[in-house]
Structure 1
Amino acid sequence: MATATRRSSRLSSLAESISSSAGSTQTPNSRKRKQSPVATPSTPPQKRQRPAKLPAATPTPSAVGLMAHATSATKKPTNPMVARLADPQTTNATLLSPETSRVITHMNVAAIPSRLPQPSTTTATLLEEANAHLIKVDERMRPLVENNFCRVFSPEGLAEAIDPFESLASGIISQQVSGAAAKSIKAKFVALFEGDRRFPHPSDVAPLPIERLRTAGLSQRKAEYIKGLAEKFVSGELSAQMLNDARYEEVLRHLIAVRGLGKWSVEMFACFGLKRMDVFSLGDLGVQRGMAAFVGKDVAKLKNKGGKWKYMSEKEMLELSEKFAPYRSLFMWYMWRVEETDISTME
């Protein structure tokens, strides 16, 4: 949690510095136009200064971005409008088995006999029902809901196929490197397995020696992490079916036990990868800052005390977020939007 807090602190601090220097009309993502230097001929042109490089946290936002991507085998859903049962307390993503690429079974609404009570929540209505609940709990959510479309939990987002081994391994590959470097390393990693156009199966990765994995550009530790993750899937300790069916606490326990996966990265994977609707991360500073602004605090005046940013206490965060259960993942997404925290890589 401390690592995740440092990660978010760096992101928020950088966003604040950019925002304050650009004025109220410039967003953190906008590019400031370079002004022509006004200098005497004898004055050498000043070299453009770049922001100090921030030390990368583990995992970086790019790690979450690759975690949340649809698997390389099926980028586009073939039929996003096929409705199936949805439950905010379970996995709602379309998961693939890492070994067979088969879709993990989900109950199709049309397959339920008409004589039985028909469930009201499906992948076609989940986002709509969740938004309605957030607004009912707190009317202040209405402008956030109306002005921001959350594709993650939309019918199309829920139809995208996710290979959990590829998603988690991609997250490990991305740790402490740029998004471009992560994509390059991932391509080299896939190329190690000749003849396989999609991401390799865990049974392909587990037998390879660390030295062979490192030829893709992986560090010693990352090679060990990915090999260990593959072994977990091969042994059956991890499986797409378990990630689909298990309670959230069990999913956390199994994934945090994997070397290379911390609590924050597992929470983000559960939210953006597994599409679980009731995930909430106390360790994300962007969420904390957004919540503080949401309740009316002047976050610009809050100071860093004792090396830890505290826009809100964990107790305050829990008390506020619990009201929005079982849709805290969506609530968390909107809290990022309050302060315009850049979470594009997560989506």
Structure 2
Amino acid sequence: MTLRRSARLGSLPTIKPPLLHSPAPSKATRVQHSAVTKPRKAPAKSKKATPKTTKTQPNSGTSYWSPEPAVTEKQELDNHPSPTNAPILRPQTPPPLDRPVDPHRTNATLITPHGSTVNAYPAHAEDASPSKTGLPRPTATTGTLLEKATAHLIATDPRLAPVIAQHPCPLFSPAGLAEEIDPFNSLVSSIIGQQVSGAAAKSIRNKFLTLFDLPDTVAPDGHRHQKFPTPDQVAKCDIPTLRTAGLSQRKAEYVLGLAEKFASGELGARMLAKATDEELLEKLIAVRGLGKWSVEMFAVFALKRIDVFSTGDLGVQRGCAAFMGRDVSKIKGKGGGKFKYMSEKDMLELSAKFAPYRSLFMWYMWRIEDVDVAVLGG
């Protein structure tokens, strides 16, 4: 999958304001949360579809990949981001419901290069006082965050109630918040996936992993994953070696630069867990190969930050325009401009009232226009 692009779900109805009424989704349209989405199987009587290469939307900076079928040129503006490619370890026991979380901090559990895990807040509420953590007092727990967020969205605009009922968001659910994310793996994979098809990105990533000849790891669900190299291991590589995996000169430089920042301690799981939204954006945009949109998507889908809103995403723009009652098909016909569906000022004004849960609001703006969030990881 490439940046800011989406495949539409043909079977999902377009939700038009002000009613936002839709029939119940069929089994085929239910969103399943996964780190890397498997390609859809073609109907038994139809010919096997040949995946097409998607293009990266201009000004995207970077992209995430997935083996999801590519969109056509006709679907160019049905865009959305995608998840990280890091193996996600799904808990085999019921997810914890009492770990403190906060909209403006990382709510995912992050894996360090040496295999330990890091959370912004400690496991128990009694240990989460500002005097002990140096952070603001958490406003929710892993068991209450999604409930609070959806209640706020509905109270702010009741028209969202039907779409929320139809499409529960697993990203910020207790199970979603229990997933463990390797941020270095995620960011490297996003760079690898820039401007290439899902199949090409997967091939390059596999070749990249073979450069290090590391043993497989076994996830709690029993699945085996090839171990991802540490930043130190990648930083010791030279550009010619990285290019043998199929990386372009520029991508090899990006990956090496990112590894060096992690290896030096400038970037790391602890910093990514506790940084403010502003600090996170500043630190990651400084990395060559990571643009603002890429950082925003990493913050939402990997770090599980719930108050991020991307005005530069065309799918979000179109969803917001449709939500406000505009005929997006006519807007599309006019063409031109980065904010062809809705101005940035109008988008910011609309989203402001949904703070501090704008990531969830954004997720539903993708849904409003039938964007297939299964490939988003949500």
Aligned residues: 316
Amino acid corresponding to residue 316 of structure 1 in structure 2: D
Give 3-state SS (helix, strand or coil) of 2:311's partner: coil
Contact 1:62 1:345 in 2 (8 A): no
Work out the CA distance in 1 between the residues paired with 2:323 and 2:305: 23
Q: Tell me if 1:75 matches 2:89.
A: yes
Work out the CA distance in 2 between the residues paired with 1:166 and 1:52: 26
Q: How far is the alpha carbon of 1:183 from its aligned partner?
A: 1.8
Q: Could you list the runs of 5+ residues in structure 2 that have no partner in the other structure?
A: 13-27, 30-39, 67-80, 129-136, 217-226
Contact 2:101 2:139 in 1 (8 A): no
Contact 2:171 2:177 in 1 (8 A): yes
Corresponding position of 1:345: 375
Q: How far is the alpha carbon of 1:235 from its aligned partner?
A: 1.0
Corresponding position of 2:56: 56
Percent of residue pairs bearing the same amino acid type = 54
Corresponding position of 2:34: none
Give 3-state SS (helix, strand or coil) of 1:152's partner: coil
Corresponding position of 2:108: 93
Work out the CA distance in 2 between the residues paired with 1:55 and 1:120: 40
Corresponding position of 1:170: 189
Q: Mark the CA change 1:61 to 1:195 in structure 2 (over 3 Å): closer, same or farther.
A: closer
Corresponding position of 2:284: 255
- Taking structure 1 as the reference length, the TM-score comes to 0.81
Amino acid corresponding to residue 146 of structure 1 in structure 2: A
Give 3-state SS (helix, strand or coil) of 2:342's partner: coil
Work out the CA distance in 1 between the residues paired with 2:52 and 2:187: 29
Contact 2:82 2:297 in 1 (8 A): no
CA RMSD of aligned residues (A): 3.4
Work out the CA distance in 2 between the residues paired with 1:16 and 1:154: 23
Amino acid corresponding to residue 141 of structure 1 in structure 2: L
Work out the CA distance in 1 between the residues paired with 2:308 and 2:139: 22
Corresponding position of 2:209: 190
Corresponding position of 2:161: 142
Amino acid corresponding to residue 240 of structure 1 in structure 2: A
Q: Could you list the runs of 5+ residues in structure 1 that have no partner in the other structure?
A: 20-26, 36-48
Provide, for residues 231-259 of structure 1, a one-character-per-residue CA deviation record: whole Å limited to 9, x for no partner: 00011111111111111011001101101
Q: How far is the alpha carbon of 1:266 from its aligned partner?
A: 0.6
Work out the CA distance in 2 between the residues paired with 1:300 and 1:33: 33
Work out the CA distance in 2 between the residues paired with 1:300 and 1:30: 29
Provide, for residues 82-138 of structure 1, a one-character-per-residue CA deviation record: whole Å limited to 9, x for no partner: 5300101111011111x212111431226549xxxx966101110011000001111
Q: Mark the CA change 1:54 to 1:261 in structure 2 (over 3 Å): closer, same or farther.
A: same
Contact 2:63 2:191 in 1 (8 A): no
Contact 1:205 1:230 in 2 (8 A): yes
Q: Mark the CA change 1:66 to 1:339 in structure 2 (over 3 Å): closer, same or farther.
A: closer
- Taking structure 2 as the reference length, the TM-score comes to 0.74
Give 3-state SS (helix, strand or coil) of 1:222's partner: helix
Q: Mark the CA change 1:208 to 1:255 in structure 2 (over 3 Å): closer, same or farther.
A: same
Provide, for residues 203-233 of structure 1, a one-character-per-residue CA deviation record: whole Å limited to 9, x for no partner: 0000111111111121111111111000000
Amino acid corresponding to residue 203 of structure 1 in structure 2: D
Q: How far is the alpha carbon of 1:32 from its aligned partner?
A: 9.9
Work out the CA distance in 2 between the residues paired with 1:235 and 1:53: 36
Work out the CA distance in 1 between the residues paired with 2:98 and 2:10: 45
Q: Tell me if 1:109 matches 2:124.
A: yes
Corresponding position of 2:36: none
Q: Mark the CA change 1:190 to 1:299 in structure 2 (over 3 Å): closer, same or farther.
A: same
Amino acid corresponding to residue 268 of structure 1 in structure 2: M
Q: Mark the CA change 1:110 to 1:328 in structure 2 (over 3 Å): closer, same or farther.
A: closer
Give 3-state SS (helix, strand or coil) of 1:189's partner: helix
Contact 2:108 2:177 in 1 (8 A): yes
Corresponding position of 1:325: 355
Give 3-state SS (helix, strand or coil) of 2:140's partner: coil
Contact 2:52 2:197 in 1 (8 A): no
Amino acid corresponding to residue 236 of structure 1 in structure 2: G
Amino acid corresponding to residue 305 of structure 2 in structure 1: R
Q: Tell me if 1:203 matches 2:232.
A: yes
Work out the CA distance in 2 between the residues paired with 1:32 and 1:309: 37
